[in-house]
A and B are shown apart, each in its own frame.
Chain A
Amino acid sequence: MADNHRPDGIVLTEAQKKSRRQRSIAIALALGVLVLLFFAVTIVKGPAVLVRPL
């Protein structure tokens, strides 16, 4: 029944879409930095981690 009232569900305004996109990009960048950080420290602290028996 409720669907009859809101056939399109929640429709975001342009401002909401813009801010959500901004936040998504910021989260992606933060995760990217975290991955790079772990990679860089792995190289710095222990390159031997890459040389291991299969």
Chain B
Amino acid sequence: MSVVDHSSIELSPRISEAEVADYVALLKPRVMSLVIFTALVGLMIAPVHVHPVLAFTSILCIAVGAGASGALNMWYEADIDALMSRTANRPIPRGRITRAEALTFGMTLAFFSVMTLGILVNWVAGALLAFTIFFYVVIYTIALKRWTAQNIVIGGAAGALPPVVAWAGATGSLAVEPLLLFLIIFFWTPPHFWALALFRSDDYARAGVPMLPVVAGPDATRLQILLYTIVLVAVALAPWPLGYFDAVYGVTSLVLGAGMLALAINVFRFREGREASRATRRLFAFSILYLFALFATLLIEVVVRAVLPAIW
């Protein structure tokens, strides 16, 4: 005899229909591509020869670690993702993947990426990758994002670390050059994300995320964008006179910085109507090009230096 009448309980376990593409979406592929690119630059400018297999291993582990961070970010932010039009199509809000599945997926990838990088490459890089994932998930996503308008300023450190991890993977230590790359990405993050937040502020307000335009208003955000852009342009230019990167990089940085500054000034000047909207979107789009072109210059220089002696 049974106290519970099992025949009255209808068990209906959830059976996943999630496809591989849904799990790929959890990795935030577009963010991952930027991480791969910046990490590749960090690895290539290191003044040591790295075996291609070890270079590939480093970049793969950093990419998977970034994907793990993305999955864990989506695990924690599923509630606010569902409220924002930009993120409502993500796998968890759409019901393709459960939060528990995303958490398991993210933790598994984080574990394997850190351990693999540590065992196969070196533990300085492995520890830095673990710190990057921790910083993005715990410090940025869990602690800062819903608490302060400075969320992306401090949290931006996580996005700036991949070239440092890659440099550590190549050399087993740290130096000034990867820290310069770190600073460039760190100061690039606020103008980039605040430009996005300006034309998505309704989304963030609906989700209750205290982004700067929501908390301090658009005008204060425009001023902050301008100030951070001035610092960014100076920081990105500094490695040239300081002798870390050469004149080709310096001139590129100068030209791109002038463009970035002009667009940030436009964002500050035009505060209403279509002009304001256009200025903000232009700065957002150009900021991506700015970072890409700056890092691409360093990459091209390294490749040219390696190839030219072989040709001549």
List the interface of chain A (C-beta within 8 A of B). 1-2, 4-5, 10, 12-13, 15-16, 19-20, 22-23, 26, 34, 37-38, 40-41, 44-45
Q: Which of B51-59, B144-152, B194-202 contacts A (4 or more CB under 8 A)?
A: B51-59
- The complex places the Cα of A5 from the Cα of B251 at a distance, in Å, of 76
Tell me what chain B mostly uses at the interface: helix, strand, loop, or mixed.
Answer: helix
B58-101 Cβ-contact flags toward A at 8 Å (1 or 0): 00100000000000000000000000000000000000000000
Are B16 and A16 within 8 A (Cβ)?
yes
Q: Cβ of B51: which chain A residues have Cβ within 8 Å of it?
A: 44
Are B6 and A19 within 8 A (Cβ)?
no
Residue with the greatest number of chain B CB neighbours at <10 A, chosen from A4, A13, A15, A40: A40
Q: Cβ of B116: which chain A residues have Cβ within 8 Å of it?
A: 34, 37
- The complex places the Cα of A12 from the Cα of B54 at a distance, in Å, of 43
The 7 closest A-B pairs by CB, nearest first: A41-B120, A1-B7, A44-B53, A26-B20, A2-B6, A19-B17, A40-B53
Are B16 and A19 within 8 A (Cβ)?
yes
- The complex places the Cα of A45 from the Cα of B119 at a distance, in Å, of 11
* Contacts of B7-57 to chain A: CB distance below 8 A: 7, 9, 11, 13, 15-20, 23, 51, 53-54, 57
Are B18 and A23 within 8 A (Cβ)?
yes
Q: Cβ of A20: which chain B residues have Cβ within 8 Å of it?
A: 16
Cβ-closest chain A residue relative to B21: A22
Are B57 and A10 within 8 A (Cβ)?
no
Q: Does B112 contact A (CB under 8 A)?
A: yes
CB within 8 A of B53: which of A2, A15, A41?
Answer: A41
CB within 8 A of A10: which of B6, B15, B53, B60?
Answer: B15
Cβ-closest chain A residue relative to B22: A19
| Contact A26 B53, CB 8 Å, known A37-B116, A38-B120 | no
Listed A/B pairs (14) with beta-carbon separation below 8 Å: A1-B6, A2-B7, A12-B15, A13-B17, A15-B17, A22-B20, A23-B19, A26-B23, A37-B57, A37-B60, A37-B116, A38-B120, A41-B53, A44-B53
